[in-house]
Structure formats: C-alpha cells, structure tokens
Amino acid sequence: MRRLLFFLLLILPFCNYGQSQKIQLTEAIKIAQKKSPQYVRALNTHQASYWRYRNYVSDFLPQLSLRATVPEYSNAIRRIINDQGDYIFVEQNQSSIDAALQLEQKIPFTGGAFSINTQLERVDRFGNLKTTNYSLIPFSINYYQNSIFYNPYKWDKKIEPLRYEESKRNIVENMEDISLTTCRRYFGLLKAQVGLDIAKKNLSNQDTLLQITKGRFKIGKIAENELLQIELSHLISKNNVTTNTIQLKKTSQDLARFLELDTESIELEVPEKLVDFVVDVDKALLEAENNRKSIIEFRRRRLEAEKRLAEAKGTNRLEINVRANFGLNKRADNYDDLFQDYDRQQNILVGIGIPIFDWGVSKSKRKMAEANLNLVENDIEQEQQAFEQEIYLHTLNWSSQRDFLATSEKAKEIAFKRYEISKKRYVLGKITITDLNIAQQEKDKAVVNYLNSLEKFWIDYYTLRRLTLYDFIEDEKIEIEDIIFD
C-alpha cells in the first residue's frame, strides 16, 4: 500500500499533460499574432524592408573609409614602357605601402558624388642601391557624375520612403491575415468538436431507441422492416462517431501546431455575437484608402515605371559624364620633405557619348519604357477599381450577415424542439422511425448551418478589418506596436 501511494505521488505532477486547454477565439488570435509561422514570416519580411530602408538612408550620409596595402612586395622581371615608348624588360625588387582615407557624400540634387581624399605612399627598392621614395596627397577634392540627364538619387528619394511605408502597412495587413487564418482553423476545430458531440448523442439516442424497437418487435407491434431500419441508423451513427473522431484529431493538430501549443487537447468556446455597429460604405472606402498598402503600392509602381522611362531617355540619346579633381601633392625621398612646397594637382574630364546610328536600339528602349508605363497605369487603374468594388460589396454584404446569423440560430432552435417532440412521439408509437430520422437529420443540419453562419459572420468581420485596417467597434485605425530591430 505504501509503495502504491509513493508511486501515485511520483506520477502526480505529470498527470496534467493530458488535460485540455480552454481557448476563446480572441485568445487564439492573440496567440497566433505572437507565435504562429505566419507571424514569423511577416516579421522577417518587415525586418528585411526595415533594413533596406535603413541602408537607403545611411547611403546618403557621409561615408568615411580607409583603404591600405601593407605591404605589397614584388621581386620579378616585368615588361614596362620606357621614355621612348618601347617595351623593355626590367628586374623589380621592391615593396610598397600605401594608405588612403576618403570621405564621400552623395549629392541627391545632381546625381553625383563628392569626396575628399588624403593618401600617403611609400616605395622601397632593394638591391645594390637601396632607395626609398614617398608620395603624399594631403587633400584632394573630387566630384563625379555619371550622367547629367538622369539622376537615380532623385527617383530613389521618391520611391524608397514609399516602399518602407508600404512595408509598415503590409505587416498590419499580415496581422489581420493571421486573424482570418486563425478564425478559419478555430471554427474548423469547433465544428469538429460539435460534430463529434452530435454524433455521440445520436449514437446514445439510437441505443435507447434500438432497445425500445426490439421490445416492440418482440410483442408484434412493429414490422421487421422498422427494426432493420433502426439497426441501420444505429450502425450509421457508429460510423459517424468514428469519422468525426478522426476529423477532430486532424483539426486539433492543425490549430495546435499553428498556435505552437504544447497540447492537442483543446476545448473551444462558441464565440458570442459582436455588439451591433453600422459600417458606412463611404467611411469604409476612405479608411481603406488611408490605411491599406495598396494605395501606396500603386504610387510606387507608377513611380518605378516613370523611373525606367526617365533612365531610358537620359542614357540612350546623349551621354555626358563629368569628373573633376583639385588638390595638392608632393613627392620626396625623405619623409620630412613631404610637408613643404606642395605641388598643385587639378583635372577635369567631360565625357560625351553620341549614338549616331544604332539600328533603332535607343528608340526601342525608350518605346519599351513608354509602353511599360502605359501598361502599369492601366493595371493600376483596373486594380484600383477592383479594390474599391471589393470593399463596397463586402460592406454591403456585412450589413446582411447579422440577419443571416439570427435566422440560422432561430432555425436551430426550431429543429431542436421538433426533434425532441418527434422522439417523444416515437416512444409513444405515434410516428414511424422514418419520421424520427428526418427530424434528427434536420436537427443536425440546422446545427451545422448555424455554425457555418457563425463562422461566416466572424470571417466577414475580420475580412472587413483586413480590407479597411479599421476597427469599427472601437472607431479607430488598426495599428501594431512599433517593432524595434537590434
């Protein structure tokens, strides 16, 4: 006896593993928005967009870089050009060390890059006569611009902020997508639980009715056909219990894995109806245009098409690039002599490229960019119309969902009442088993229809939130807490 008590105390802490976990719909959504695979994907997508935007912003800040070679050694025979312009072979036995510091700043107004440089170099020659030379550029100011007719920085300043704003709205939409997915999986399990409960109750009722029917058959009150029919219904009820048990296992696994729960034994509650609220079509359209990423996406896609057209026009007709440099330099055999009597260095280069005859390559690139812009504008116009139509139709449909739900709920109550009456009348022998089976089928169908209506009600509610990113119950824009990336 003592050993038995000791064993029970030992295993008692582990007995809670099989207990079911009770979850409501709103709780399941909150869990999914923190743990589900969909949330992880949405977070990673937003994180990539965040760092892309950070990279864009940082790219327009001054960039300080150090480049050094310490050292480069060479001992070989090389081919060089002498003062007369002839190739000769000479033996090189030397090492070089150089370091350069550069501060660069991109100029978004012109599309060029401005930099300040300083450089120090030392060359040691080995052999019979060892020599050392130094070269110093104390400072050098440089400017480079690839094309004066096309400025990519100007377009980036228009497009990249839109892209980041689009990503911020996208993660809010992803959160509402998670709500929709959770809602569907929640009701999938809820319907499986209710279906199994109905199947078990029907089997229990069939057990009772089968015993009653057997008794009536023995005393000759009913024909064998009615007994066979109730036996068939009893077998069908057994099969329904098995089928619903399997469906319950599948849906419980789907929800548990989606929510990252430790148990698949989940007990769900039937969600209550929402408080009554009115959704105005104009209000829904306005909030969708203010909150959805689609409006930002339309603007970004149009600007990207315009950018490609500007690039085709700016680089396919006349190409002009500019490079300018001004600074000081000094060459000396002694390090101390580098810091006096500097020489001036300056140069400017303007490169021009003019296509004279290119078999229509420049024109075709320009025309392709123009056609692409027209195509994008047409697609955006069609998508804009579909966007507005979807919100308009869903808003009108939402106003009818509460009536549909109330009707199905009333039908369920009537079906339950009719079945109870039919069961009592069958026990009294006033109706046949066929009539009772019909009442049972209509009762079960009414329960399923009610759950389907309730599911559609909640899915339509979260779809409305997803389409507008607006909470009409709280009368406020749907937002998420700021996500900080380290």
Tokens of 120: 């120090």
Over range 158-181, report the average pLDDT.
93
Torsion of CA 362, 364, 367, 373, to 10 degrees: -90
Distance (Å, whole) CA 138 – CA 301: 46
Distance (Å, whole) CA 144 – CA 147: 9
| Residue 482 confidence (pLDDT) | 56
| Residue 48 confidence (pLDDT) | 92
* Among 56-70, 296-310, 327-341, 451-465, the least confident range: 327-341
**Residue 342 confidence (pLDDT) above 90:** no
| Residue 1 confidence (pLDDT) | 39
**Residue 322 confidence (pLDDT) above 80:** no
**Residue 81 confidence (pLDDT) above 90:** no
pLDDT band at 280 (very low <50, low <70, confident <90, very high): confident
pLDDT in tens, 23-37: 899 999 999 999 999
The closest alpha carbon to 179, from 21, 294, 24, 30, belongs to 30
Torsion of CA 285, 159, 477, 27, to 10 degrees: 110
- Burial level of 8, CB count in 10 A (0-12/13-18/19+)? exposed
**Residue 319 confidence (pLDDT) above 80:** no
**Residue 277 confidence (pLDDT) above 90:** no
Residue 139 or residue 411, greater confidence: 411
Residue 208, amino acid = T
Instruction: Report how far apart, in Å, the C-alpha atoms of 180 and of each of 199, 454, 466, 483 are.
Output: 28, 14, 8, 22
**Residue 252 confidence (pLDDT) above 50:** yes
**Residue 9 confidence (pLDDT) above 50:** no
pLDDT band at 483 (very low <50, low <70, confident <90, very high): low
pLDDT in tens, 52-64: 999 999 998 999 9
The percentage of residues in the chain with a pLDDT greater than 90, rounded to a whole number, is 35
pLDDT in tens, 444-463: 889 989 999 999 999 999 99
**Residue 186 confidence (pLDDT) above 90:** yes
The percentage of residues in the chain with a pLDDT greater than 70, rounded to a whole number, is 94
Beta-carbon contacts of residue 230 (< 8 Å; ≥ 6 apart): 206, 209, 210, 213, 433
**Residue 14 confidence (pLDDT) above 50:** no
In our burial notation (b when 16+ CB lie closer than 10 A, e otherwise), range 320-356 reads: eebebbebebbebeeeeebeeeeeeeeeeeeeeeeee
**Residue 16 confidence (pLDDT) above 50:** no
| Residue 157 confidence (pLDDT) | 92
pLDDT band at 178 (very low <50, low <70, confident <90, very high): very high
pTM over 0.75: yes
**Residue 484 confidence (pLDDT) above 60:** no
Q: How many CB atoms neighbour CB 394 within 10 A?
A: 18
Contact call for residues 165 and 296 (beta carbons, < 8 A): yes
**Residue 3 confidence (pLDDT) above 80:** no
pLDDT band at 485 (very low <50, low <70, confident <90, very high): low
The closest alpha carbon to 350, from 385, 323, 386, 310, belongs to 323
Residue 333 or residue 225, greater confidence: 225
Distance (Å, whole) CA 29 – CA 176: 9
